[in-house]
Amino acid sequence: MEEKLCYVCSPYRGDVARNVKYAQELTGRAVRRGLVPITPHLYITQALDDRNPEERALGMEAGLHLLEPCECIMIGGRYGISEGMRYEIERAHKMGKNFSFADCGKLNGKDEGFLREMSRYPDMEERKQEFIHLLSFVERDGVQKLLEWLESTDFYTAPASTKYHGAYAGGLLEHSLNVFRRLVKRCPAADMDTLTIAALLHDVCKIHLYEKTEDGYRHNEQFPIGHGEKSVILILRHMPLTDEEITAISWHMGAFDSRAGAGRSLSQAWEKCPLALHLHLADMEATWFDEKRGPQE
């Protein structure tokens, strides 16, 4: 067994007996393919009343939390794409999950078009334009100067690591956007300019850090001044930062930072600047839940 988690998405409402039988069939198919299936509507509906709008909403939200750690979503289309399935599929698309289709050969035009759109992911240029658009909304002197600097570097094409998450061209850009979405979700009431700066720029330390090899990437550090603190220094060359932004970006590696074992610096940073902890957690969520891992390049 591959031990890859797979979220099973199929209808429940309507002909419940038929749909439960179908969900069981899809779950069995996933197991036989070596996957570890998660089929929330087979068991959450045993504890909550799907006919009650409030309990249905609770069940849907609980199920979507189970989607986060899954590598792929299996979409069972034998009986069409229900409203609940659409919601799950849209969330899976936003999380960047891989799609697996079962019995989708006879969908109507509307459902087929929806799945085609959801299974298409932004290319590098689209992600670049999204990044520029988000950062351009920040009201801070130096933003345009910083964007011009980024354009002169390999930021938009660099990998996020040598062999782990985002170990492919454009991985750093993709990771930065994923961290932004995660951080905004974690801190909905925080200042949007600060969230945008902290999330989108926390890893600029990786600019010109990786060198392409025949079988992947390797480190080629030209400015060995640390990790988070390096990002802070590079940003400050072009744009001012608040103390909160400096602290969050500097400590976004959390306990993985080599400074963390020396005294209480990390604990003090998290105590005085909750954003530092939230940025670290958003970074981990993006790495483990949203991005491809392993030597897939």
Average pLDDT score over the chain: 90
Other C-beta atoms lying within 10 Å of the C-beta of residue 189:
4
Report d(CA 159, CA 208) in Å as an integer: 10
Banded model confidence at residue 262, pLDDT cuts 50, 70, 90 = low
Residues 153 and 111 reside in one and the same domain: no
User: Is 296 inside any structural domain?
Assistant: no
Residues 209 and 158 reside in one and the same domain: yes
Q: Largest Cα–Cα distance in the chain?
A: 63
User: Is 181 inside any structural domain?
Assistant: yes
Structure confidence by residue, pLDDT tens digits, 8-63: 999 999 999 999 999 999 999 999 988 999 999 999 999 998 889 899 888 888 88
Structure confidence by residue, pLDDT tens digits, 21-35: 999 999 999 999 889
Residues 220 and 257 reside in one and the same domain: yes
Amino acid at 125: E
Of 94, 118, 142, the last residue of a domain is: 118
Residues 186 and 265 reside in one and the same domain: yes
Lowest mean pLDDT among 214-218, 224-228, 281-285: 214-218
At residue 2, the pLDDT reads: 52
Q: Measure Cα distances from 75 to 23, 78, 80, 84, 119 in Å.
A: 10, 9, 10, 12, 11
Of 66, 92, 118, the last residue of a domain is: 118
Of 118, 144, 169, the last residue of a domain is: 118
Q: Is 26 exposed, middle or buried (0-12, 13-18, 19+ CB in 10 A)?
A: buried
Taking the CA of residue 56 as centre, how many other CA atoms within 13 Å lie in the half-sphere pointing to its CB? 9
Q: Which domain holds residue 218?
A: 124-290
- What one-character-per-residue DSSP string does the chain give? ---EEEEEE---SSSHHHHHHHHHHHHHHHHHTTEEEE-HHHHHHHHS-TTSHHHHHHHHHHHHHHHTT-SEEEEE-TT---HHHHHHHHHHHHHT-EEEEES-TT--HHHHHHHHHHT----HHHHHHHHHHHHHT---TTHHHHHHHHHTSSTTT--SSSSSTT-STTHHHHHHHHHHHHHHHH-TTS-HHHHHHHHHHTTGGGTTTEEEETTEEEE--SS-S-SHHHHHHHHHTTS---HHHHHHHHTTTGGGSTTTTSTTHHHHHHHH-HHHHHHHHHHHHIIIIIS--SS--
Banded model confidence at residue 294, pLDDT cuts 50, 70, 90 = very low
Report d(CA 16, CA 13) in Å as an integer: 6
Residues 103 and 175 reside in one and the same domain: no
At residue 224, the pLDDT reads: 92
Contact 244, 194 (CB under 8 A): yes
CATH number at residue 267: 1.10.3210
Is 289 a residue whose pLDDT tops 70?
yes
CATH number at residue 65: 3.40.50.450
Tokens of 24: 């069981």
Strand 4-9 relative to strand 210-213, pairing: unpaired
Other C-beta atoms lying within 10 Å of the C-beta of residue 42:
18
User: Is 297 inside any structural domain?
Assistant: no
The mean pLDDT value for 246-261 works out to 90
Strand 216-219 relative to strand 72-76, pairing: unpaired
Residues 63 and 145 reside in one and the same domain: no
Tokens of 95: 């999380």
User: Is 295 inside any structural domain?
Assistant: no
Domain count, the chain: 2
Report d(CA 22, CA 173) in Å as an integer: 39
Residues 181 and 254 reside in one and the same domain: yes
At residue 297, the pLDDT reads: 27
